[in-house]
A and B are shown apart, each in its own frame.
Chain A
Amino acid sequence: MRLATLSWELVTASIRGQMQYRLNFLIDVAFGLVFSSIGFVFIWVVLGRFDQIGGWTLSEVALLYGMRLTSHGIWTVNFSRLFAIDRIVRDGEFDRMLIRPMPMMLQLMYGSFRMATLGDLLGGIILLGVALTQVSIDWSVGKLILLACALVGGAMLDGAFQLGPAAMTFRTLQSMPVRGLFDDIFGRFSGYPTSIFDRSARFLLMWIVPVAFVAWVPATVLLDRPAELPFPSWLGWFSPLAGVTCIAIAGWLFVHESRYYQSSGS
């Protein structure tokens, strides 16, 4: 409870700080919205003209994109400080995170707040909400639970491929390019039906960088399209576990590697 209040204080203080540059603050939020929705505008314009892609209609792809964007938003809102991990480690700011009476991981999560991340979450929820009214889903309690779990699981999966690479910062002092690459892969590929890709790309997106599990696998279950999955469809119900597994490994790796942290001494 005390930790929750503390986290809240840190986040609001950070927001107040950013409010000092009023116009820039608004542009930051707008940027978050545009940045996160631009990928969908592309889909929208293309499918507005060509009806479907690989058997998926615009509203079905919107569901995928809404799920992935909401997941991404859940992750970035809670971990927005990770974005600056390179600087935090290089400048020795990590010292403070180690000596303050608050768990290191919690400070990493809420030590500061980037407004642009709110744009991700907002855009995702709006898009998901609109998409849900457009697609025909044969709802059941199980499917509602799956959707909720898939959003959190997607956030964990997306985040695992940020937190994991961030662990290398403690030795190499730089992880931004690698994190950016994974951010790109998730951002670009998770909003599309994985079935449109050719065999090798599909294999990569399912088993090497498991982007497919963010939205496509749970969505095929929600939409009753089991034929597209390369495994028995009942396994699709457990897709959120991919995120749980990956974030556990990434979290362990990050904490483990933080032992190699060397302060800059300044």
Chain B
Amino acid sequence: MTIRGPHPVWWAMIRVSARRVHIYRAGMMFWMIRSMLELFLILIVWSAVYGDRESVEGIADDTLLVYLTISAIQVYILPNIIAVEVGERIETGQVATDLIRPFSFMKQMIAIQFGSSIGFAPACVLVIPAAMLVGSLELPSLTNGVAYIISFVLAYMVSTLTWLLVGLGGFWLINIGGLRALLSVASGFLSGALIPVWFMPDALRILVQLLPFQAMTFLPASIFSGQVTGTAMMVPLLVQVAWIAILIGLIGWVWARAQRKLVIQGG
């Protein structure tokens, strides 16, 4: 018998995961303060760099501030817990139990990520006014607003898939803590949240464009800030869709190899 429609396990896993987020409420508060500090510093540095100039290389100072603020918010709320979940399950051997369940491992992990995002939503509502206080946020035009919402959903998918792929690295590395930390620090850079891709030197820009991180932050933020408008907005949206396709392909390929590589360390 095949089960059709959303499996009830989906909802159960999402609920449990959403509730679990609240164990770390105090930690989340501090994390938010730290994110706002980072935003504060970046804004000061960029303001000092701009000095009295109103526009540098076609980027107006207002646009840049909105770009940096929305980027900081995105970095804060986009998913990455999925890498920790997958990594821990592989390291502890719990993945064996997960694999026996009559529900695909990938779906379980995505359900956990989705639940964690839902549990996390109240903090996101808090971070927006905080970011407006520290930075500056102007609402985009209607078309840019609609395009941004689409772009954000795509960014959510790119982020989930990228970190899922990182988590699967655990089948080879056993402990992915180092790799995950390395990437999450580098991603602040590679996503364009610290330096918009417009201002990057060529070598860095090429590296950034070869990695999926800019599809999580730079592309949606350039739409939100109004630097990209009209039909030109199709370019970032298509790049995001392409990344989703590439990542799904990569995950399928890695997963096929990973199952043969699995080492259960006692337990």
- Identify the A interface with B (CB < 8 A): 21, 23-24, 27-28, 30-31, 34-35, 38, 41-42, 45-46, 48-50, 53-54, 174, 176-178, 180-181, 184-185, 188-189, 192, 196-198, 201
Contact present for B204 and A24 (CB under 8 Å): no
Please name the residue on chain B nearest to A30 by beta carbon. B182
Please name the residue on chain A nearest to B195 by beta carbon. A45
B26 sits at the interface (CB 8 A):
yes
From residue A208, how far is it (CB to closest CB) to chain B in Å?
A: 14
Known: A45-B199, A45-B200, A46-B45. 5 other contacts (CB 8 A): A34-B185, A34-B186, A49-B201, A180-B34, A196-B44
* B140-195 at interface with A (beta carbon < 8 Å): 173-175, 177-179, 181-182, 185-186, 188-189, 194-195
B30 sits at the interface (CB 8 A):
yes
With the chains together, A42 CA to B44 CA distance in Å?
13
Please name the residue on chain B nearest to A51 by beta carbon. B49
From residue B181, how far is it (CB to closest CB) to chain A in Å?
A: 6
- Identify the B interface with A (CB < 8 A): 26-27, 29-31, 33-34, 37-38, 41, 44-46, 48-49, 56, 173-175, 177-179, 181-182, 185-186, 188-189, 194-195, 199-201, 204
Contact present for A177 and B49 (CB under 8 Å): no
Main SS at interface, chain A: helix
Please name the residue on chain B nearest to A196 by beta carbon. B48
With the chains together, A188 CA to B44 CA distance in Å?
12
Contact present for A184 and B34 (CB under 8 Å): yes
Cβ of B175: which chain A residues have Cβ within 8 Å of it?
A: 21, 24
With the chains together, A34 CA to B178 CA distance in Å?
11
Contact present for B185 and A35 (CB under 8 Å): yes
Cβ of B182: which chain A residues have Cβ within 8 Å of it?
A: 27, 30-31, 34-35
With the chains together, A48 CA to B199 CA distance in Å?
10
Contact present for B178 and A24 (CB under 8 Å): yes
From residue A164, how far is it (CB to closest CB) to chain B in Å?
A: 16
A31-B181 contact, Cβ under 8 Å, with A45-B204, A178-B30, A181-B30: yes
Contact present for B37 and A188 (CB under 8 Å): yes
A197-B178 contact, Cβ under 8 Å, with A42-B189, A177-B27: no
Cβ of A185: which chain B residues have Cβ within 8 Å of it?
A: 37
From residue B64, how far is it (CB to closest CB) to chain A in Å?
A: 12
Contact present for A38 and B45 (CB under 8 Å): no
With the chains together, A188 CA to B194 CA distance in Å?
13
Closest 5 pairs between A and B when the two form their complex, measured CB to CB: A27-B178, A177-B30, A196-B48, A50-B49, A31-B182
With the chains together, A189 CA to B257 CA distance in Å?
45
Our pick among A176, A178, A184 for the contact of B37 (Cβ within 8 Å) is: A184
Our pick among B34, B48, B56, B199 for the contact of A53 (Cβ within 8 Å) is: B48
Count chain A CB atoms within 10 A of each CB in B45, B179, B195 and give the residue with the most.
B45
With the chains together, A45 CA to B38 CA distance in Å?
17
Please name the residue on chain B nearest to A47 by beta carbon. B49
A192-B45 contact, Cβ under 8 Å, with A31-B181, A38-B186, A181-B34: yes
Please name the residue on chain A nearest to B29 by beta carbon. A177
Our pick among B29, B38, B179, B189 for the contact of A188 (Cβ within 8 Å) is: B38
Contact present for A38 and B185 (CB under 8 Å): yes
With the chains together, A46 CA to B48 CA distance in Å?
11
Contact present for B188 and A196 (CB under 8 Å): no
With the chains together, A42 CA to B204 CA distance in Å?
11
Please name the residue on chain A nearest to B57 by beta carbon. A49
Cβ of B186: which chain A residues have Cβ within 8 Å of it?
A: 34, 38
Contact present for B201 and A48 (CB under 8 Å): yes
From residue B120, how far is it (CB to closest CB) to chain A in Å?
A: 17
A197-B34 contact, Cβ under 8 Å, with A23-B173, A35-B181, A45-B195: no
Our pick among B30, B173, B189 for the contact of A24 (Cβ within 8 Å) is: B173
Can you give 10 A-B contacts (C-beta < 8 A)? Answer: A23-B173, A24-B178, A34-B186, A35-B181, A35-B182, A41-B189, A42-B189, A53-B48, A181-B30, A192-B45
Please name the residue on chain A nearest to B186 by beta carbon. A34
With the chains together, A45 CA to B185 CA distance in Å?
16
Contact present for B201 and A45 (CB under 8 Å): yes
Cβ of A46: which chain B residues have Cβ within 8 Å of it?
A: 45-46, 49, 195, 199
From residue A237, how far is it (CB to closest CB) to chain B in Å?
A: 27
With the chains together, A185 CA to B34 CA distance in Å?
8
Count chain B CB atoms within 10 A of each CB in A23, A177, A180, A189 and give the residue with the most.
A177
Our pick among A180, A189, A196 for the contact of B30 (Cβ within 8 Å) is: A180
A49-B48 contact, Cβ under 8 Å, with A34-B186, A41-B189: no
